[in-house]
């Protein structure tokens, strides 16, 4: 067997929290600070850099290999070091320790508008981005129409990139990178961009790239994409590898880590068993729905005793665990609570309003026990919202605009149901 396409040995990346460390001092300033630095170095003898609060390891002792033509999925919570790892592989930043070797031409899409100039038009930036990636002008000429058609930006080609939304920029950047045909492709959370049609197109393109023998490293929060696209996976947390190997094993490890209950013990509810959680709207592809679609979820659970005054919440969180939606059941009459036995709760949300992205859905059963509120949380399940606004806001509620006394709203929208 030949060399792997990517090999990493004991990769580490150390960052300074003190911004002064990143500035360039004059010779006079450096000499003036030398005695204090010498004293500080003496005090730190015998300590690991990570023990010093002025430093932190974004990556530490990360080793892995990716064979040619394989797809590696890199997952983990926000701040786990996933993007730092890709930046090292892409040669954007140097590791503080260890080394990474890549054998073959490399294409990467790590940030919004990679290689774009805000003052240039979309048309001009296709050439600029392509050349930065390593494409020849003749190759860009040959693939230009295909790139534009894939991005769906035909009507905006002659508009400066600075007027594009972030979603439009990523669509165009992904279209260029996807047609570069490198031997190694590095992707950082780009498959969740755009409307439902573009999402499917990007997914199919990535599948085709992988089947063509390109080595791919995919950083994503979309567990469905990892399951469908990847041959192996890597779970990072706090800069270290927690689990690596078969996709099923790594995904299960990540899912188990999310179920750890951080709540105080006095609030943990006993005698409640949650046996099922289902998303009833959207496609079978990991709970993918349109942002303006009705959304429904259902939970099965049992209680060991009668629980008057009990109720259920539905919560939708972003990938960092921040609760964006918190809905409490509302009975029209006296609250009956839950009697001993099995129960099924279904909630339907009319028009979700969330922008495109990946979210987690879970239920919470709440019971007032001797004056103390206790609860039991269900496992989380992934919800992928597509087709929403590319604005900076988290939610996109329907709104009517009135300009100079005139309602700026299409008649079809006024006559029909609003989002």
Residue 35 has pLDDT above 70, yes or no: no
How does residue 113 score in pLDDT terms, banded at 50, 70 and 90? low
Instruction: Express each pLDDT in 245-291 by its tens digit.
Output: 999 899 888 877 765 544 444 455 677 888 888 887 655 445 777 77
Q: Please report the domains of the chain, with CATH numbers, ordered by start residue.
A: 6-258 (3.40.50.300), 265-386 (2.70.50.60)
Instruction: Express each pLDDT in 374-388 by its tens digit.
Output: 788 888 888 877 765
* Residue 385 DSSP class: E
Residue 22 has pLDDT above 50, yes or no: no
Task: Give pLDDT, residue 256.
Answer: 74
Residue 334 has pLDDT above 70, yes or no: no
Instruction: Tokens for 160, please give them.
Output: 């400066």
> Which letter, b or e, does each residue of 228-241 get, where b requires 16 or more Cβ atoms within 10 Å of its Cβ?
bbbebbbbbbebbb
How does residue 179 score in pLDDT terms, banded at 50, 70 and 90? confident
Task: Give pLDDT, residue 236.
Answer: 92
The proportion of the chain whose per-residue pLDDT surpasses 90, expressed as a percent, equals 21
Task: Give pLDDT, residue 355.
Answer: 76
Q: What is the mean pLDDT of the chain?
A: 77
> Of the candidates 356, 342, 339, 117, which has an alpha carbon nearest to the alpha carbon of residue 222?
356
Residue 242's Cβ-count burial label (10 Å; 0-12, 13-18, 19+) is middle
Q: How many CB atoms lie within 10 A of CB 346?
A: 11
> Of the candidates 63, 86, 102, 95, which has an alpha carbon nearest to the alpha carbon of residue 215?
102
């Amino acid at each position: 067997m030949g060399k792997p396409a990517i090999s990493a040995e004991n990769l580490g990346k150390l960052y300074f929290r003190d911004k002064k460390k990143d500035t360039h001092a004059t010779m006079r300033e450096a000499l003036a600070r030398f005695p204090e630095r010498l004293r500080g170095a003496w005090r730190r003898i015998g300590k690991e850099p990570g023990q010093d609060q002025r430093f932190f390891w974004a990556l530490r002792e990360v080793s892995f290999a990716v064979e040619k033509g394989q797809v590696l999925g890199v997952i983990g919570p926000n701040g786990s070091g996933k993007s730092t790892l890709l930046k090292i592989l892409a040669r954007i930043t140097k590791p503080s320790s260890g080394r990474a070797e890549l054998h073959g031409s490399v294409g990467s899409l790590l940030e919004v508008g990679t290689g774009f100039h805000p003052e240039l038009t979309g048309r001009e930036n296709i050439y600029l981005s392509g050349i930065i990636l390593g494409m020849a002008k003749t190759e860009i000429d040959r693939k230009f129409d295909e790139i534009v058609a894939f991005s769906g930006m035909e009507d905006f080609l002659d508009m400066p990139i600075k007027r594009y939304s972030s979603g439009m920029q990523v669509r165009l950047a992904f279209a260029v990178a996807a047609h570069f045909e490198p031997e190694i492709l590095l992707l950082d959370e780009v498959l969740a961009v755009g409307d439902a049609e573009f999402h499917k197109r990007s997914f199919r393109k990535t599948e085709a790239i992988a089947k063509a023998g390109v080595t791919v490293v995919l950083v994503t929060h979309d567990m469905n994409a990892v399951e469908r696209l990847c041959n192996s996976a890597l779970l990072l947390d706090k800069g270290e590898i927690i689990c690596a190997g078969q996709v099923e094993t790594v995904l299960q490890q990540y899912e188990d880590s999310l179920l750890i209950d951080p709540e105080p013990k006095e609030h943990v509810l006993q005698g409640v068993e949650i046996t099922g959680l289902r998303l009833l709207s959207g496609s079978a592809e990991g709970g993918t729905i349109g942002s303006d679609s009705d959304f429904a979820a259902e939970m099965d659970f049992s209680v060991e005793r009668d629980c008057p005054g009990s109720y259920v919440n539905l919560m939708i969180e972003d990938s960092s665990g921040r609760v964006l939606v918190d809905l409490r059941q509302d009975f029209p009459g006296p609250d009956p609570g839950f009697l001993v036995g099995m129960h099924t709760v279904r909630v339907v949300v009319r028009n979700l309003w969330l922008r495109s992205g990946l979210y987690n859905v879970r239920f919470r059963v709440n019971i007032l026990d001797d004056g103390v509120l206790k609860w039991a949380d269900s496992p989380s399940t992934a919800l992928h919202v597509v087709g929403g606004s590319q604005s900076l806001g988290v939610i996109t509620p329907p709104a009517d605009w009135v300009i100079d006394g005139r309602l700026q709203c299409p008649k079809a929208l006024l006559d029909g149901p609003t989002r």
